[in-house]
Homo-oligomer: A and B are copies of this chain.
């Protein structure tokens, strides 16, 4: 590094004067690095994924990476297309995979493409992941309701094999079982609808069928949203008649009256951990890559006026 400061300044002034900007495509062709990462989520318009996208963008920008995104809408085909499409264009992936993306994700891993799963993961597969501790979150919420003497606690979930939803449900089931309170009929599993408004009549119907319910936990933000709507439409008082928890924190829950208690995901922390794991892989080069380190970020139980 025997270059004088003067020369450095001189060159930089020329760079500025001529407006030289290196051609990334050329550098990319030569080095094989694109300095772009691919973010594949379920739905970029969902407040959780939108916040995540913002945190990911910030974390990526800090280390010189750009982010391209894509929404799968839990459609396997679309997800696999996205992976295929982006595989050669990104240095690494952050993916919230649907079940049917397992094969493509495995192929990605086999091809040694840096990759971190977010929001969910494939149990048994040695693929790094960063997500909230779903079990701990719902467990805490359920126990909170039990402590409040609730006896008929319902759980509304999406019918899916996705591990994060399974874990949320398992926490609910186990907490109730250990207190002798579990009743299968109070566990509602609904299909994944593209059009979220369809959840409202389904939950409405469920509530009419089970007037004994005195507490509810909704497994996602949109279930919570439409669940609360259904409760209000039926003139069921929150929390007097039915106490409510929802997974995910959103403006709607914060501003609802009563304000809704939630299991909040520390989005920034999740994004930060995911980027850390991704950078580890991207920078490891020929070094052996840690195979399959997973990070479970503790959720935050936010108690508002709905319990």
Contacts and interface: CB of A to CB of B under 8 A. Distances in A.
Contacts of A46: 50
A66 interface: yes
Interface string A198-215: 000000000000000000
Interface string A56-71: 0100010000111111
A225 B25 CA distance: 44
B71 A68 contact: no
A23 interface: yes
B70 A68 contact: no
A188 interface: no
Contact of A23 (B29, B67, B251): B29
Contacts of A229: 255
A36 interface: yes
Interface in A53-100: 53-54, 57, 61, 66-71, 84-89
Contacts of A44: 50, 53-54, 57
A43 B229 CA distance: 28
B256 A255 contact: yes
Contacts of A225: 251, 255
A255 B252 contact: yes
Contact of A67 (B69, B84, B87, B255): B69
Copies of this subunit: 2
A24 interface: yes
Interface residues of A, number: 43
A89 B24 contact: yes
Contact of A50 (B25, B45, B232): B45
A85 B66 contact: yes
B88 A23 contact: yes
Contacts of A85: 66
Contact of A29 (B22, B29, B45, B88): B29
A54 B44 CA distance: 6
A162 interface: no
A26 interface: yes
Contacts of A67: 68-69
A177 interface: no
A250 interface: yes
Contacts of A228: 255
A3 interface: no
A291 B250 CA distance: 42
A57 B29 contact: no
A68 B36 contact: yes
A57 B28 contact: no
Interface string A86-129: 11110000000000000000000000000000000000000000
Interface of A: 21-26, 28-29, 34, 36, 43-47, 50-51, 53-54, 57, 61, 66-71, 84-89, 225, 228-229, 232, 250-252, 255-257
